[in-house]
């Protein structure tokens, strides 16, 4: 069992589910169904196999689920099914919510040459799961953390003493390098230093298109800052290679999934 699943069970069950122990015979068998109560994109099903011994998955991660469709079925001791119901639903509802938002972003840029990226704006402790859900929804994972790529942002530039210093020092680490530029002067300096991946933050679509024209393919371009479902298409049509949005994870609404128990 993965640590986050164990932690979730310990948090919810604690010393024991007193309601279930009081009401349900110890050896009563049962089955249960997880049912979508609204259209959604499924994610997090892998966790059901950690929570229950007998699981029949009706969907896979990334599948669409219509209202009323069965997502998965489980069976075993009624007490176990009831004790783990809320933990299972919390994971499924949260992760399917992320996947559902991710799918909407991916569909919004369909037909462009722009990829949607997620960000590190995730729930503490759940980054791996939320990025898995974003990927199931159809967007591309950006770096997992501070350890697997270099992203030089404005505070790094200030601390390093400028764009050139930051880039030259970062080259020694051997990781892919991306740098945020906030002015045309920083943009030109980064290009002169051979920057291969630029982050343009908080520009309007019109401003971004102008900057992309100046870059003229000399570097990959990512746009970020205030990108939502309402405007992501406009940003994608600027000619940028990537758009990134924290809303995919930090603002995803938990979708409505129910658990229906039946005695065996």
Pairing outcome for strands 115-117 and 150-152? unpaired
Catalytic residue check, 220:
no
Active site residue 73: no
Question: What tokens appear for 169 in the block?
Answer: 């020092």
Selected catalytic residue, list 180, 186, 222, 241 = 180
Q: Is 12 a catalytic residue?
A: no
Choose, from 50, 63, 189, 201, the residue flagged as catalytic: 201
Q: Which of 120, 153, 182, 220 is catalytic?
A: 153
Q: Out of 86, 120, 127, 188, which one is annotated catalytic?
A: 86
Q: CB–CB of 152/167 below 8 Å? A: yes
Catalytic (active site) residue 121? yes
Q: Which of 36, 43, 37, 143 is nearest to 98 (CA)?
A: 43
Q: Is 59 a catalytic residue?
A: no
What are the catalytic residues?
86, 121, 153, 180, 201
């Amino acid at each position: 069992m993965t640590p986050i699943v164990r932690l979730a069970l310990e948090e919810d069950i604690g010393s024991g589910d007193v309601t279930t122990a009081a009401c349900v015979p110890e050896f009563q068998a049962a089955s249960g169904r997880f049912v979508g109560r609204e259209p959604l994109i499924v994610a997090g099903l892998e966790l059901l196999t950690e929570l229950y011994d007998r699981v029949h998955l009706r969907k896979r991660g990334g599948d669409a689920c219509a209202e009323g469709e069965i997502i998965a079925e489980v069976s075993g001791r009624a007490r176990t099914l009831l004790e783990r119901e809320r933990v299972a639903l919390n994971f499924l509802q949260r992760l399917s919510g992320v996947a559902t938002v991710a799918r909407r972003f991916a569909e919004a840029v369909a037909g462009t040459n722009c990829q949607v990226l997620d960000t590190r704006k995730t729930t503490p402790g759940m980054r791996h799961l939320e990025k898995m859900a974003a990927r199931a929804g159809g967007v591309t994972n950006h770096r997992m953390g501070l350890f697997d790529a270099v992203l030089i942002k404005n505070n790094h530039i200030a601390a390093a003493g400028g764009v050139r210093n930051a880039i030259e020092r970062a080259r020694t680490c051997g990781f892919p390098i991306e740098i945020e530029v906030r002015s045309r002067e920083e943009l030109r300096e980064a290009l002169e230093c051979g920057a291969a991946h630029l982050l343009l933050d908080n520009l309007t679509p019109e401003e971004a298109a102008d900057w992309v024209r100046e870059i003229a393919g000399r570097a990959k371009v990512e746009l970020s800052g205030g990108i939502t479902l309402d405007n992501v298409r406009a940003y994608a049509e600027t000619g940028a290679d990537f758009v990134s949005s924290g809303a995919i994870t930090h603002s995803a609404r938990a979708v409505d999934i129910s658990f229906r128990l039946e005695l065996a």
